[in-house]
Amino acid sequence: MTTHSAAPLGCVLFDLDGTLLDTAPDLGAAVNHVLISEGFAPLSDDIIRQTTSHGALGLLRAGLGDELLEELGATRLRTALLDYYAANLCVGTRPYEGMVDLIEWLDEKQLPWGIVTNKPGFLTEPLLAALPALASCGVTVSADTLPVRKPDPAPMYFACDQLGVEASHCLYVGDHVRDIEAGRNAGMRTAVAGWGYLNDDEDPAQWGADLHFDTVQALHHWLRYELG
Whether residue 46 lies in the annotated active site: no
Contact 86, 209 (CB under 8 A): no
Whether residue 17 lies in the annotated active site: yes
How far CA 79 is from CA of 18, 43, 92, 103, in Å, comes to 22, 18, 21, 33
Catalytic residue among 17, 175, 179, 210: 17
Q: Is the dihedral of CA 203, 50, 63, 149 positive or negative?
A: negative
Strand order in the sheet with 11-14: 140-141, 113-116, 11-14, 170-174, 189-193, 211-213
* Coil, helix or strand at residue 73: coil
Angle between helices 216-227 and 99-108 (to 10 degrees): 20
Catalytic residues: 15, 17
